[in-house]
Amino acid sequence: MIKVASYNMRKSIGTDRRRRPERTLEVLLEVDADVIALQEADRRFGTREAVLTANLLAEHSPWKAVHFGMRARSMGWHGNALLVRKDAEILACEAIHLPTLEPRGAVMADLRVNGSPLRGVGMHLDLSGLWRRRQAHAILSHLAACTPRMPTVMMGDLNEWSAERGCLHDFAQHFAFAPTGKSFHARRPMARLDRIMASPELEIGDVGVHRSLAARTASDHLPVWAELRHR
């Protein structure tokens, strides 16, 4: 079993408007997933430095960041990052460039977690429905061209308010959605903006939205999680 999670951490700025990376880490420790896709993990301006520093992760967490080599002080690419257990093996990784009018991207890593292979993709899609669909097609096309084929989980903030239209329809042609529940807004969840999707090689087990007191104040999104098993 592999536990995965997705969290739009909002640059560690909570609903109290305070930036507290330690509080973000507290939420992640509560979720305790093997693989975590983060959105808005880097600061927006300047060097785009990571909010959760390497020292903070090394000294106070069981995870390491997958390094994509895009910016020296960033954790990921356009705010998208992947965390994995320190004993997980990172076989390959790359950033995925997406069609967009504003900075958007996705990240992908081939992993060996708990002895099993897993391809993980993290994303944060556009506010525009038209561009979301174009980005979904770009990600799906990129995955279709990847060799070898691997069991794949895709996670992130899709910014899709509809229940099954738009980019959800496109992803659903190839992936199953984990029924995690509503994750936005953190104080009063009304929408399923944050999603976890699994390829046919994976069976979705227990799922949920993490609703602790810390999670309700650490970001405007709640983390979503799912347990996956290889078929």
Three-state DSSP class for residue 216: helix
State residue 11's pLDDT score: 95
- Which range (63-67, 103-107, 122-126, 146-150) has the least confidence? 103-107
pLDDT digits (tens, 9 = 90+) for 79-90: 999 999 999 999
pLDDT digits (tens, 9 = 90+) for 179-230: 999 999 999 999 999 999 999 999 999 999 999 999 999 999 999 999 999 9
- Residue 139 confidence (pLDDT) above 70: yes
Q: Which amino acid is at 41?
A: A
This prediction has a pTM of 0.95
Q: Are 194 and 183 in contact (CB under 8 A)?
A: yes
- Residue 46 confidence (pLDDT) above 60: no
State residue 30's pLDDT score: 98
- Residue 94 confidence (pLDDT) above 80: yes
Q: Which amino acid is at 106?
A: A
Residue 156: give the domain boundaries: 2-230
Under DSSP, the state recorded for 184 is B
How confident is the prediction for the chain on average, in pLDDT?
94
**CATH code for the domain in which residue 79 is found:** 3.60.10.10
* Residues contacting 97, CB < 8 A, separation 6+: 105, 138
**What is the tally of structural domains in the chain?**
1
- Which range (96-105, 149-158, 199-208) has the least confidence? 96-105
State residue 70's pLDDT score: 65
Give me the sign of the Cα torsion angle 144, 149, 152, 157: negative
State residue 76's pLDDT score: 85
- Residue 164 confidence (pLDDT) above 90: no
Residue 29: other Cβ atoms inside 10 A = 13
**Per-residue tokens: 177:** 């959605």
Q: Are 218 and 183 in contact (CB under 8 A)?
A: no
* Residues contacting 29, CB < 8 A, separation 6+: 61
- Residue 72 confidence (pLDDT) above 60: no
Q: How far apart are CA 96 and CA 84, in angstroms?
A: 19
What residues form DSSP beta bridges with 42?
50
